Amino acid sequence: MADIKCAFVIQRPPYKSETSTLGFTHAISYQVVEMLLEDGQNVIPTVCMVGEGVLNLIKDQKAMENYGVTSIESHGKNSLLVDLDILVCKEDLDGFGIPEDRLLDAEDMGADKKLQIVPYSEIQKAMESANHLLFF
């Protein structure tokens, strides 16, 4: 099997723990996994933001000012920059009353990818098509 699909499901809120940060950083590491794989082998990641996990995507975070750490917004933007697919649960955004224009993007970094706001049914499909699920 040449490609293995991994779904990184981020469901924890930002900054309460480092869990959501680790979800992003583990997903981003697909960029260098080929160093440890054979030719033709690939790990295909998809990031799924559900539940309180959608709160990680709010833009204009002030983590460096308040906590002295890189913001989770920055990890989200870097994820888009390295062409990760990030699926965001529309129902959970609606539940928190978060409009799309409150969410991060990485246009200023030159990223082509954008957050993909989708119904949960689409996230379910992505999880069902993955070989492995990793919940953060």
Partner 1 sequence: MGTLTLGCFSSLVGSKSLDFTLKLAKAAADKGHKVNLWLSGNATVVGKNHQKHLKDYSTGEKPVLELLEKGVEICECEACALARGIQKPDAIPGVQWNAMHWYLAKIYSSDRVLHIGGE
Q: Is the dihedral of CA 31, 36, 41, 43 positive or negative?
A: negative
The distance of closest approach from Cβ of residue 97 to partner 1 in the complex, given in angstroms and rounded to an integer, is 27
Instruction: Give the span between the Cα atoms of 74 and 26, in whole angstroms.
Output: 14
Residues in the chain, overall count: 136
Binding status of residue 70 toward partner 1 by CB under 8 A: no
Closest to partner 1 by CB, 27 or 106? 27
Stretch touching partner 1 by CB under 8 A, among 23-31, 81-89, 103-111, 115-123: 23-31
Residues paired with residue 132 on neighbouring β-strands, in sequence order = 6
Residues paired with residue 80 on neighbouring β-strands, in sequence order = none
Name the site residues for partner 1 (rule: CB under 8 A). 4, 6, 17-19, 22, 25-26, 29-33, 35-37, 41, 43, 132-136
